[in-house]
Structure 1
Amino acid sequence: MTTIAIAPEALSATITKVLGDLARAVTVQHGEVTVEVSAANYLAAMKKLHTAPGCQFEQLMDLCGVDYSAYKDIGTNGLRYAVVSHLLSISLNQRVRVRTFCANDDFPTIDSVSEVWAGANWFEREAFDLYGIVFEGHSDLRRILTDYGFIGHPFRKDFPLSGHVEMAYDAEQRRVIYQPVTIEPREITPRIIREDNYAGLH
């Protein structure tokens, strides 16, 4: 039996009622519902979205970090790091996006939701690895994509394109070693063709 998806406006009204003061904003854009919550209310809001009648988001589809420092409308005036989650209700055939900004740009932290959705475990480890967002209460928060000795967080906007260190095999020591990057940084400028009659165009 297929459940007919509820209209985004109706879902927005339901979530607004369920979350109350826990939500900063609930908006509908392009047929999708987005909920904004503060870091302080994040875990409580996610628990309600998981179990409350009319919500029942049983599945966490995705969770990722975002570095807004280079975004014109947000990065220049607001907080830098956000966690964005996409939730799915299989029983009610509906989806919602939840966005939460971490309160401290120098040491971004937020509660883990792995106790609510077990699948958050690896998603949160990925966001920690790539953005340096610390998920408090996570049972095993360590890198998942980069090497254990990796320095920095490669999806941050200020991370250098060439990285900080490189790995190489040392024949004398007969082991892999880490050393400062030896690649010279360079700017890649695309070639611009300025011929007056390029490809027959006038």
Structure 2
Amino acid sequence: MTTKLETLEAALRNTLGDHISDLTVALGEVTVVVKASSYLTAMRNLRDHADLRFDEMMDLCGVDYSTYRDGAWEGPRFAVVSHLLSTSHNWRVRVRVFAPDDDLPVVASMTEVWSTANWYEREAFDFFGILFEGHNDLRRILTDYGFIGHPFRKDFPVTGYVEMRYDPQQKRVIYQPVTIDPREITPRVIREENYGMK
């Protein structure tokens, strides 16, 4: 007797075929890595094929692999990971696609397949700088419109480049270089010599 995961794995392999770069089953979850060149076709098949029917996109996010496995990662730097749900079959799948160019990461947009991809893709663009080809409104969604860089990239400084503050003389919000002074914070317990002694 085959398990539910084995049935899903077989259906994925049969439906996606050559679109799959890798398929793993671990910890009760199925992860499919699809080729960037056939990403849109594969995702349409996942939604429309009767054996799969992944009718809901639950999540989509960007990933920066530049420091993965302590820098031992040798594959492409940026990936887009989607989590799909089939309400008719009651199963889930994780789909990963790697952007082929690290300097200009571009993958196909999924907005015509699932409308929920719209804001998810805007967030991945905003935080990671991943471009989604075919997205009709790709602009920042969580950072300020004048923001420089992409804050979830591993090479983005923790303090950022600029800070924003209200200037009472100019009566407006202004940008200025970051003024955070690095300092060592020592817990009070260590600072006080007689702490805890009676």
TM over 0.5: yes
Deviates more, 1:169-178 or 1:102-111: 169-178
CA contact (8 A) 1:166 1:181 kept: yes
C-alpha distance in 2, partners of 1:189/1:155? 28
**Alignment match, 1:90:** 87
Q: CA deviation at 1:38?
A: 1.5
**Which amino acid in 2 is paired with 1:91?**
S
Partner AA of 2:115 in structure 1: A
1:20 aligns with 2:17: yes
Distance in structure 1 (CA, Å) of the matches to 2:28 and 2:177: 48
The residue that corresponds to 1:123 in the other structure is: 120
- Deviation string 1:85-120 (CA, Å, 9 cap, x unpaired) is 000000111111001111111111111001000000
Q: State how many pairs are aligned.
A: 189
Q: Tell me the C-alpha RMSD between the 2 structures.
A: 2.1
Give TM-score scaled by structure 1 length. Answer: 0.87
Give the aligned partner of residue 162 of structure 1: 159
Distance 1:56 1:74 in 2: 37
In 2, are the aligned partners of 1:68 and 1:75 still within 8 Å (CA)? no
| 1:21 aligned counterpart, secondary structure | helix
C-alpha displacement at 1:10, in angstroms?
1.2
Whether the 8 Å CA contact 1:162–1:185 is kept in 2: the answer is no
Residue 49 of structure 2 corresponds to 52
Letter in 1 for 2:55: E
SS of match in other structure, 1:87: strand
**Sequence identity, in percent?**
62
Map 1:1-202 → 2, pairs under 5 A: 7-72=4-69, 76-185=73-182
In the other structure, the counterpart of 2:193 is none
What TM-score comes out, normalization by structure 2 length?
A: 0.88
| CA shift in 2, pair 1:166/1:47, >3 Å | same
Once the two structures are TM-superposed, the CA of residue 189 in structure 1 deviates from its matched residue by 8.4
